[in-house]
Amino acid sequence: MAQTLYQLRQAVIRLMGEVITGTPGGSLAVDTFGCPALAIYENDYFNDWNGRFYLGTHKDTSFVVTAFVKSGGVVTFAPALGSAVVVGDLFELYPPDFKPEEINNAINLSISMVEQEALQDKVDATLVVVASTYEYDIPTGFLYIDQIFQESGTSDRYSPSGDLIDVRHWRILPGTTPKLWFDNDYITLTAGRKLRLVGQGIQAQLALDASTCSVNPAFIIFQAKALLHQSKIRGTGAEFGEHTTQANLAKANAENERRRLRVAGCGRKVIF
């Protein structure tokens, strides 16, 4: 099941320590919000913690807690927003060890490490046949193309029996912008009809909290944890040893999950 960036980030944080999620209540302003559920914590408990609004009007916005008051669970943060916090602005809070952007970067680096292994099914029907044209730029994101259909006389209908273009009559031309070439001695492309490409691509990087990832989340979470601990390995002493130990454990778990990721490429490879 696909996971969003914020779900993956919160899972990574839980492996590394404490994470608090909640919904703002009273004291809503550009730099404060209240949350009654936080009133069980003492004054200043969350000072210097990292925070992020991951859903709502101010989603994808990070902040740092500058003050916390137990009464009403009031959080003051910086930088201030352009407009007041609203009830729908779901938030997360966690200790200052790692910023949200650091965790997001670790997640995206983990995705890029296996993008050639964890191939994703991809379908595209954006190409439209142009009269007397037999070369087309391949839509972005494809690593393999397995089948190509030409739209039938009915819009958005593609029949495996009549509309599938024989694989012997098309090929991929490599280059900075790879192209599809069709052999006009054997096939007829009808101007105005769509071409439906079926193949495989890579998991896109996650730019927004609502962006989704279909790669095995266990691998992503363990690998991101390993990368974050590795970034703190420096010097000597107990902290050095703890980060080294945690990085090695997380890496071992990630490698176990990585064995399950491999998806064989199907069709013709897009060569850049």
C-alpha distances in angstroms, 260 versus 18, 138, 186, 263? Answer: 29, 29, 41, 9
What pLDDT was estimated at residue 238? 58
What pLDDT was estimated at residue 229? 93
Question: What three-state secondary structure class fits 114?
Answer: coil
Rounded CA-CA distance 181/12 in Å is 45
Q: How many CA atoms lie within 13 A of 147 on its CB side?
A: 14
Q: Point out which residues pair with 77 in neighbouring strands.
A: 65
Residue entry with tokens 């495989």: 200
What pLDDT was estimated at residue 239? 67
Amino acid at 113: M
Per-residue pLDDT of the chain (272 residues; tens, 9 = 90+): 789 999 999 999 999 989 999 999 989 999 999 999 999 999 999 999 999 999 999 999 999 999 999 999 999 999 999 999 999 999 999 999 999 999 999 999 999 999 999 999 999 999 999 999 999 999 999 999 999 999 998 899 998 888 999 999 999 999 999 999 999 999 999 999 999 999 999 999 999 999 999 999 999 999 999 999 998 887 666 566 788 899 999 999 999 999 989 999 999 999 88
What pLDDT was estimated at residue 127? 97
What pLDDT was estimated at residue 42? 97
Considering the segment(s) 18-94 as one domain, its CATH architecture is: Beta Barrel (2.40)
Are 136 and 195 in contact, with CB atoms under 8 Å apart? Answer: yes
Instruction: Count how many residues are written for the chain.
Output: 272
C-alpha distances in angstroms, 169 versus 34, 179, 187? Answer: 65, 14, 7
Domain boundaries, the chain: 1-12+98-118+205-272, 18-94, 120-201
Q: Which tokens is 244 given?
A: 């080294």
Rounded CA-CA distance 203/119 in Å is 7
Q: Point out which residues pair with 202 in neighbouring strands.
A: none
What pLDDT was estimated at residue 165? 96
